[in-house]
Amino acid sequence: MEEIAHTMRQDLQGAGKYLAFWLGKEEFAVPVGRIREIIPWQEITPVPQAAGYVLGVINLRGKVVPVMDLRLRLGMPFQERGVRACIVVMQPDTKRARSPIGVVVDGVSEVLQIQPSEVEETASLANGWMQMGYVNQIAKSKGKVKLLLEIDGVLAGPMEDAVDLQTPELAGCGKG
């Protein structure tokens, strides 16, 4: 994970660079310019009455950062946290000066360069969670498909469009 973070710091200004990560068997990617850092799993303080996909908050060097379970945000079924799970701290739209948000993923895979010729729009594939506009493009890179997240929609979209698939015991407790 530290090697990926080092590569990201070197290439933050590079156009077409993406951080790829796993949610279950699906591989997603977001532009590295939107990534603040990748941190190992840590305890999350629950916040009462938060949306079902919001696990709570963490203290990141003196700054309170909200943390969401990206799997739940995308309407995917709940899954126990594995050993490679980590928190990717992402920066929402910088024009709105919003605070960073931590996103729990199953594991980070790589930083990759995606050429414009490797990207296809998803308009013809819109079904299920793709109707929410969270995935607008798909990249074909290194013989695999990467779902490119429209990260502003994921981080700032309406709360009511996420499907709460948590068990009642886990809802909002921050242990996932």
Per-residue pLDDT of the chain (176 residues; tens, 9 = 90+): 555 444 444 444 446 899 999 998 899 999 999 999 999 999 999 999 888 899 999 999 999 999 999 999 988 888 888 899 999 999 887 666 578 999 999 999 999 898 888 887 766 555 544 555 677 788 887 778 888 888 888 887 444 333 333 333 333 343 44
Residue boundaries of the structural domains of the chain: 2-159
Coil/strand/helix, residue 17: strand
Strands 101-105 and 135-141: unpaired
Residues 6+ apart with CB under 8 A from 44: 55, 56, 57, 58, 67, 174, 175
Q: What fold is seen in the domain 2-159?
A: OB fold (Dihydrolipoamide Acetyltransferase, E2P) (2.40.50)
Tell me the whole-structure pTM to 2 decimals.
Answer: 0.73
Query: For 97, what's the count of Cα atoms within 13 Å in the CB-facing half-sphere?
Result: 0
